[in-house]
Chain A
Amino acid sequence: MEERLQEILAPYKGKSDALIPVLQEVQAELGYLPEEAMMAIAKTTGVPESHVYGVATFYAQFYFTRRGKNQTKVCTGTACHVKGAARVIEAFERELGIDCGCTSEDFEHTLETVACVGSCALAPVVVVNEEVHGQFQSSSIGKVIEDLKE
């Protein structure tokens, strides 16, 4: 990880205004932002560590704990809300046995919400590992999870 991190950070030496793209790139590589990474980012960009945390925690996109191999995001935008997103979330919670916003103990699944993915005409929408599932029916959850095992 150390090596890969240095590789990503190299072009950003001293570039404090590139903080957000750096955080995004590191997270894309590691899946989340562990403490070592945050320290390395602070060192490279020259931004104080407290400030790096201040910025990173402000934005919903950044995570500081390890996440599941599979990530399920249930859209809770207005269109999805009125089409029953809350019930979809509950159904996933029951099926995965975890609360929304949490990661399963075996790090297989993370379940969370997203405020609109821009496919509102297909509401309710669920995004599983970047794949958009439109007009989602809770009855298909079993199959969606089964497919992930392959």
Chain B
Amino acid sequence: MLQRINSPSEMVEMRDFCKAAFARQKVRFLVCAGTGCIAGGSMEVYEELKRHIAERGEDVDVELLFEGKDSEAGASISGCHGFCQMGPLVRVEPKSTFYTKVKVKDVPDIITTTLDEDSVVERLLFKNPDGSHAVAEHDVPFYNRQTRIVLAGCGTIDPEDIRNYFAVDGYTALAQIFADHSPEEVIDIVTQSGLRGRGGGGFPAGRKWKAGYDAKATPKYVVCNGDEGDPGAFMDRSVLEGNPQAVLEGMTIAAYSIGARYGVIYVRAEYPLAVVRLQKAIAQAKEFGVLGENIMGTGFDFDIDIFQGAGAFVCGESTALTLSIEGKRGMPRVAPRPRTTEVGLYDKPTLLNNVKTFAYVPDIIRKSADWFKAIGTESSSGTAVFALTGHIKNSGLIEVPMGIKLREIIFDIGGGIPKGGKFKAVQTGGPSGGCLPESLLDTPIDYDSLDEAGSIMGSGGMVIMNERTCMVDVARYFLQFTEEESCGQCVPCRLGTKQLLEILNDICRGRGKKEDLDLLVELSHSVHGGSVCGLGQTAANPVLTTLRYFKAEYEAHIYDKCCPAGVCKELISFVIDEEKCKGCMLCAKNCPVDAISGEKKQVHTIDQSLCIQCGVCFDKCPNKFSAVECVSPKIPVTPKEKMEVS
């Protein structure tokens, strides 16, 4: 039965066959093989699991299942579950038992409790804030408010085995459209679903597909944007690594709809594992006849190549991306700026969508446009995927229905701010987005509401910041990023971002002037107005939103030379509180410039003329003492102190 699929109807047989095969394995240990868990040692855990299962006399070779043999237990890898912080993760099927921070030495216990005692290893379960344990993955608070569609396969299937994708209905959407739908009908379904592009702009996918369909020239191309430039987000990476076949199926459905012969997936340079997984996925898809020539015996041909980016943020922009594939410098087209659906890759009609946009499509086809439309809000249907990071207890990848409030994401799913910290701001949309304060936490997540608040939905970065984050520094950070990444062809973008950055640098260094605030606004508007691509047009957003919601912090920097968050080095000093210091010497031992003196069990002091504000002493001083304080404005260094040193 494991052979090329020669007609759409064979696809259903294949699914049932694969489903039955996997069902013959009574217990399955799924070890997370996402980048985060691998870094934590998950592959060693995987090998150990296999070794133990083999020692029990079980054959761990999955192929046997497909030969009709039964198996008591087996192990396989999965993609990222999104909760990398708790990794390495192991999920045990069929009960979805969810083990966190698993080490090689935990393997024997996992094996015996599961296979001999039909019980669980309590110490490896997720511990709820109230002290109880969550047994199954969906019982963990981080997961139980999520609605997983694009992420459904991530963490539950083996991304390196297409048969596992088949077993969960993979490629039945493609078979279904071959059997029942004309290209126009597919485009209608996508349009009716209300699916909007997940690359940041939120352009209606159906409308773009229709334009691709209407374009006359040939050959046509389908391009998947996996450049994921937002520095602090990893949604696309996880989808490409965790469920690559869904992206391939989505692209193939798109190709059928617009009549494309070739496809390209543009993968960010820093994602080597995604490339490996995609290569395997493409090879397997071709072997089974769901990609390549004569797909499912229908006579339809579609091939997909992988292109690895070379490290330029601006290449995420559609026209720059296609030029980059052509081997050129990735500069957005200036004028005329034709639509990519008309003049794209090699000047041919090109349908370009984000990774997630494509990955939603198979489910929409299978479950109907209405199903998708029923999730989310009127103007933004479906779910949103976010990389929830920064100062947040449960950091990771989440998928939530559109319309959910920021507050629910941060406090219910994310578990709030760790270590007793206080929420200060949430940043969405990366370098093109903005920072929203506490007062806007009831803003619903959808394209329009976030726009209105001054931020954007973006492609899914969501960084939570606590009270020890300086908002002027955050604005400076993003401007430094855009200034570096500007391709330089529009003067307002090239010089404007530079000027904005210089002003922000000055403010952070205590050299800010009264007129700077107006100047920032003025410059922001001219950068916005004079730039041809989204990079320049939105570069000032981080400045404008921080100015709008955190103006007092700018003023403190300028007028009082004070950084209230204690971040900007030129404006802060570290001091030791005499009352609290117990003389444990930890700070002094770790100070890189030997600026701290004091005897054991005696109060320590910092020599301000030597201190370089590295913050090591602040971090090192034991929590129970918390004797090191960060003060701002800076303590002036007295000439006397200087003399003593020399």
Contacts and interface: CB of A to CB of B under 8 A. Distances in A.
A80 B310 CA distance: 21
B396 A81 contact: no
A54 B329 contact: yes
B310 A118 contact: no
Contact of A21 (B83, B233, B308, B391): B308
Interface in B320-352: 324-331
A36 B144 CA distance: 58
B312 A60 contact: yes
Interface in B162-190: none
B451 to A, nearest CB: 20
A117 B471 CA distance: 24
B439 to A, nearest CB: 20
B228 A118 contact: yes
- Which interface residue of B237, B238, B307, B487 has the most chain A CB atoms within 10 A? B237
In this complex, the interface size class of chain B, counting residues with CB under 8 Å from chain A, is 35 or more
A139 B228 contact: no
A17 B271 contact: no
A83 to B, nearest CB: 7
A120 interface: yes
Given A58-B329, A138-B616, A121 B85 contact: yes
A58 B330 CA distance: 8
B232 A78 contact: yes
Contacts of A114: 270
Interface stretch (A2-10, A64-72, A99-107, A128-136): A128-136
Contacts of B477: 78, 81
A78 B614 contact: no
A20 B324 contact: yes
A115 interface: yes
B159 to A, nearest CB: 15
Given A87-B614, A114-B270, A118-B35, A55 B461 contact: no
Contacts of B630: none
A6 to B, nearest CB: 20
B233 to A, nearest CB: 7
B326 A17 contact: yes
Contacts of B390: 78-79, 82-83, 123
A98 interface: no
Contacts of B35: 117-119, 132
A21 B487 CA distance: 21
Q: Tell me which of A18, A83, A118 has the highest count of chain B C-beta atoms within 10 A of its own C-beta.
A: A118
B615 interface: yes
B311 interface: yes
Nearest to A19: B327
B590 interface: yes
A53 to B, nearest CB: 11
Contact of B232 (A47, A116, A138): A116
B36 interface: yes
A76 to B, nearest CB: 7
Contacts of B271: 118
A50 interface: no
A111 to B, nearest CB: 16
A55 B315 CA distance: 13
Given A58-B312, A61-B311, A134-B36, A120 B481 contact: no
A8 B385 CA distance: 40
A78 B427 contact: yes
A139 B590 contact: yes
Nearest to A27: B310
B534 interface: no
B330 A82 contact: no
Interface in A17-48: 17-21, 23-24, 47
A122 interface: yes
B493 interface: no
B590 A121 contact: no
Contacts of A83: 390-391
A76 B473 CA distance: 13
B308 A24 contact: yes
Of the listed residues A81, A131, A139, the one surrounded by the most CB atoms of chain B closer than 10 A to its CB is A81
B85 A122 contact: yes
A54 B481 CA distance: 21
**Shortest Cβ-Cβ A-B pairs, 5 listed:** A78-B232, A59-B310, A60-B311, A79-B389, A19-B327
15 contacts: A55-B329, A59-B311, A59-B312, A59-B330, A78-B390, A78-B430, A82-B390, A82-B391, A87-B614, A91-B592, A114-B270, A118-B234, A121-B36, A130-B272, A132-B36
Interface of A: 16-21, 23-24, 47, 54-55, 58-62, 76-84, 87, 90-91, 94, 114-123, 130-134, 138-139
Given A20-B308, A119-B35, 13 more contacts: A20-B310, A59-B310, A59-B312, A62-B310, A78-B430, A82-B390, A83-B390, A116-B230, A118-B237, A120-B387, A120-B395, A121-B82, A132-B39
